[in-house]
Chain A
């Protein structure tokens, strides 16, 4: 495998947990603590997929995501959205939407499914 996955979350524990699990699955993992940092790393490190918290300090995630092209994004979120909104997000290019607290197996399955 060795594909690079970017995990963007302002909570270090979440990044650490997701990193540990994805590295065990054979992926290379890079981290970002803000959406702005995620955009920088998306442009420089060329990840194959991004797992991103929907609520982070700094520029709203939605603004940043518009600037990320051709990389599938899985939203992780403690924010509650309606089923209609989840459908709309997927129609607008978000690969998946996983609510926190999440089952790590669900995340791994989603990563495997949406990696190009």
Chain B
């Protein structure tokens, strides 16, 4: 099974969506993180807490020293803030708050933003609002040096088709890998 070369795929563009079946999701997300482990990355997580990602990366020998996490999960059930120099908690489902925080991230000049994942936004928001949010995010990213990588599990086909039109490139991971 060949790996996706994310740095090469996004080299000449600013935004990319990686569509994948659920079964490939763990492998692909770890693979991308490993490839970007030496870069300055902002990791926006909507389905794993910061601490679980930290544990997962450690377990898989991914040293993400220059990763900063925006954790849109932990506030669902905990008040205790994790390491503030590595993570910021935001209110689950708040596109406004997410947008504000990502604006700050874009000003800070990260090399990459990983958005994990578009599919999880739909738990909290209507499709139209998610689409508007994504398009806005993609347009803002174009004005910076930061590159945007978005993950999407292959559900909600209609929405994903529209998002694929909004970004520079859409890569589909097949069930057996690419």
Contact = CB atoms under 8 A, between A and B. Distances in A.
Interface string B76-106: 1111100000000001110000000000000
Nearest to A97: B77
B138 to A, nearest CB: 24
A63 to B, nearest CB: 9
Contacts of B51: 81-82, 84-85
Nearest to B49: A81
Interface string A44-71: 0000000000111100111001000000
Nearest to B47: A79
Chain A interface category by residue count: 20 to 34
Chain B interface category by residue count: 20 to 34
A83 B56 CA distance: 11
B47 A62 contact: no
Contacts of B52: 80-82, 85
B75 A62 contact: yes
A88 B78 contact: yes
A104 interface: no
A89 interface: yes
Contact of B123 (A56, A75, A80): A56
B123 A60 contact: no
A78 interface: yes
A80 B57 CA distance: 13
Contact of B49 (A65, A75, A80): A80
Contacts of B120: 55
A78 B54 contact: no
Interface in A96-114: none
B7 interface: no
Contacts of A61: 76-77
Interface string B95-125: 0000000000000000000000000100110
B55 A83 contact: yes
B48 interface: yes
A62 B55 CA distance: 22
Given A80-B47, A82-B49, A82-B51, 20 more contacts: A10-B123, A54-B76, A57-B123, A60-B75, A60-B77, A60-B91, A60-B92, A60-B93, A61-B77, A62-B75, A62-B79, A79-B49, A79-B76, A80-B48, A80-B52, A81-B49, A82-B55, A83-B55, A88-B80, A89-B77
Interface of B: 47-49, 51-56, 73-80, 91-93, 120, 123-124
Interface of A: 10, 54-57, 60-62, 65, 75, 78-85, 88-89, 94
24 contacts: A54-B76, A55-B73, A55-B92, A55-B123, A56-B123, A57-B93, A57-B123, A61-B77, A62-B77, A62-B78, A62-B79, A65-B77, A79-B49, A80-B48, A80-B52, A80-B53, A81-B51, A82-B51, A82-B54, A82-B55, A84-B51, A85-B51, A85-B74, A88-B80
